[in-house]
Structure 1
Amino acid sequence: MRRQMAGRNALRAGVCSLVVIAAAIGWPQIGLPATPPAAVPAEFKKGEAAFNANCARCHGERGVGTSQGPPLVHKIYEPNHHGDAAFQRAAALGVRAHHWQFGDMPKISTVPAAEVDEIIKYVRWLQRQAGIF
């Protein structure tokens, strides 16, 4: 009986330690901004509207992710890792799942490249607001 109690206490201590460590390092980071969102400047409004119409269903309002798709406001999608051309290719060709377990992203061929450029500008603004770059 005493041995069982010691085992349970050790398990509890281990779980608590993992929770504290995960909280301390910010894992899992799911792209949520640390501060209240700023008002979107006029120069990014067109991209915001296009994002909301074509991307937000899966990538969430303001790019924070959903149960259907990953957050774009995340370090993985910073320009040095996923440049603007990667976003253009994703829209035009789709993407095989490689960082997340949401499944493959289908191509979004109904969105013209110029509109994808506006979406990219908006996403990059969101990323800057979150301190990603």
Structure 2
Amino acid sequence: MAKSGLFIAAFLVVAGAAIVWQQVQSAPSEGHSMTPPDLSQVAEGGPIVQVTIPAEFSSNAQIGKRVFGAKCADCHGVNAAGQNGVAPPLVHKTYEPDHHGDGSFLLAAKNGVRAHHWRFGNMPPIEGLTDADIKMVVAYVRELQRANGIN
């Protein structure tokens, strides 16, 4: 009985130490902040970021641009620049491939997304898109991101 009590106590001490250690670690200096930018100077409905357009798009991205214009731009803005008070920009470090992989775009379009990085409310599922449509949209967004230094 005493051995099991010691084991439990030791486990709790180690678990507690691990929790404390994680809490005192400083945040990594590289990467990006999950804090949305200050939008107080951006007009309601105005673009949140300025987007540099690549000289040309791949054929998949050209298809994605048309799909984006028909299904996504009403909320995410022209060239995925976002719209203040409506939806976030997809040409933003928050959506870089290492943080939001291509599959996250597929899941977001199909299932919707609970708000977690921005304060625009939840995104509903988008009706009428196939997986192939979303793949083309991702190609378009990724090419826009690369043209804007987001890799």
With the shorter chain as reference, the TM-score category is 0.7 to 0.9
Which of 42, 45, 49 is the matching residue for 2:66?
49
- Superposed, 1:1-133 pairs within 5 Å as 28=38, 30-33=48-51, 36-43=52-59, 44-67=61-84, 68-133=86-151
State the TM-score, normalizing by the size of structure 2: 0.65
Distance in 2 of aligned mates of 1:87 and 1:120: 7
State the TM-score, normalizing by the size of structure 1: 0.73
Cα root mean square deviation, aligned: 1.6
Distance in 2 of aligned mates of 1:114 and 1:37: 23
Give unmatched runs, 5+ long, in structure 2: 1-36, 40-47
Asked whether the 8 Å contact 2:57–2:143 carries over to 1, the reply is no
> In the comparison of the two structures, how many residue pairs are matched?
105
Asked whether the 8 Å contact 1:31–1:72 carries over to 2, the reply is no
Distance in 2 of aligned mates of 1:48 and 1:39: 14
Structure showing greater radius of gyration is 2
Percent identity of equivalent pairs:
46
Distance in 2 of aligned mates of 1:40 and 1:70: 24
Give unmatched runs, 5+ long, in structure 1: 1-26
Distance in 2 of aligned mates of 1:42 and 1:102: 31
Asked whether the 8 Å contact 2:93–2:150 carries over to 1, the reply is yes
Once the two structures are TM-superposed, the CA of residue 52 in structure 1 deviates from its matched residue by 0.6
Distance in 1 of aligned mates of 2:73 and 2:148: 17
Structure with the higher helix share, 1 or 2: 1
Distance in 2 of aligned mates of 1:32 and 1:129: 12
Secondary structure of the residue aligned to 2:123 is coil
Distance in 1 of aligned mates of 2:73 and 2:91: 12
Secondary structure of the residue aligned to 2:105 is helix
